[in-house]
Structure 1
């Protein structure tokens, strides 16, 4: 019998071919979809073209014949520009097109964009992802989806090409709210791991052995599994940049204020993320929070 990943092939416009978008577009092309990519800088088309997709010269060109438009750009203003601009999706795609926004943006912005999409005859799902570059490369992302149940059902076979865990969590904006919670948990875990590493090193413990045994108990986490190498080697090539996690923590803080809830640890981690950025670490992987703990401890950073 056909699996859920075996579906009628679609023409997919993929807007944003960065660290995450590029491997996601490649998976869709290799699955047999006709993928047309667009990126602000044209040097990102190579992997998609090698997988059988193609690049385009503008958003308008990419979306004009698309059944589905996928968006993976950094922040709320970027998504607004992609969807609302004169060269954008709503002005150039065919009415009825399904738009899947994989970006992580403000829930209120997503809700407004969904209303605008509906007035123009489009359908919008917010489908932010978790798993970082490794998850994108391995098609193992966790995808939290907000929007109508019918639109989710239509998108699910496409989402399952790039994700390992795909869950419909509610209406428009719900996906972004769950992603904000995800970023809160991840940031707190990374900071705790960084502090543990600095603590263990102060006692001249075998750090690799210590993290192995910690990973086997209640302290174990995917953060420990995926980020231990970065911290042991003090190598912070970006899988997910501090700049972007700083943006996400601002979303968490703002949404918490609007809901009238208090996030003491979240606010502290947001401050530490901002401090890392202010110290020039914004382009590093978020495991680079280790450098902030080192600085506070009077230790050299590498």
Structure 2
């Protein structure tokens, strides 16, 4: 890998667009393929568009995928010809949230072409991506991860190495479940406060500035609003489907955690309305 590797990028959504932009602003040559053919997220920064994933892969030292689901990765890698087009020594980074087992399988398939794979899901949402303050949760070969660090630092406040292939996904799924369980805690306790006719605005201010504070609470009314809460709730429920599948077989506690986190995701629009009313 050269000192200034060429970065290929696929996925220009809420997080992927700002991440790709940050990489270009960091001075890295950026090559992009867009399924929609739209590149508005990169307006004002230098990049090279490509007609196919395979065309992008052939000129990239590192390829980042920031897609919604594992099946999207498979579609691009096999159906789009990306994997076959990658040169030996290329590093493939999956920034999406998915199954740890899928990350392990992708690592195995890519190894046959001497391509290294790192799973690096991110936490911090759209706002964190725009502000270049994401937490990037990484699994894979530690030597490869260390070489990637300067690229990851262009958009990350924290880079947390979890372990081998799939460990980044484990860390992200646990992070997601804890966030949503905390949302349920907030929802239940604020219901009690409403029933007792407490000033909710004053109480939330106390909770945000006291020992009860959490990222779940801090995000309400800022990153999470009445306008986007329904959409974020839907995404959280998808994440919990992945969590349930990933940790199936780990005992009854997983079911308890899953159901509480799902309730927290479902309560998110109600919480946003209560705090931003």
Common fold: TM-score over 0.5: yes
1:83 matched to which residue of 2?
Answer: 77
CA root-mean-square deviation: 2.5
Quote the offset at 1:146 in angstroms.
0.6
Q: Paired residue for 1:8?
A: 3
Contact 2:65 2:73 in 1 (8 A): yes
CA contact (8 A) 1:191 1:290 kept: no
Deviation at 1:122, TM superposition (A): 0.4
Q: Mark the CA change 1:105 to 1:149 in structure 2 (over 3 Å): closer, same or farther.
A: same
User: Mean Cα displacement is larger for which, 59-68 or 197-206?
Assistant: 197-206
Q: Does 1:52 align with 2:46?
A: yes
Is contact 2:99-2:242 (8 Å) kept?
A: yes
In the alignment of these two chains, the number of paired residues is 274
Alpha-carbon deviations, 1:45-71, whole Å to 9, x = none? 123141222332221222220010001
Stretches of structure 2 lacking an aligned partner (at least 5 in a row): none
- 1:84-233 equivalences under 5 Å are 84-85=78-79, 87-229=80-222
What 5-or-longer segments of structure 1 have no aligned partner?
A: 1-6, 277-285, 295-301
Quote the residue 1:283 is aligned against.
Answer: none
Q: Aligned equivalents of 1:149 and 1:114: distance in 2?
A: 14
Deviates more, 1:166-175 or 1:185-194: 185-194
TM-score by length of 1: 0.82
Could you tell me which of 250, 268, 271 is aligned with 1:287? 268
Look up the match of 2:233. 242
The structure 1 segments of at least 4 consecutive aligned residues displaced by more than 4 Å after TM superposition are none
Partner of 1:69: 63
Greater shift in the superposed pair: 240-249 or 88-97: 240-249
Distance 2:223 2:15 in 1: 19
Give 1:91 deviation, angstroms.
1.6
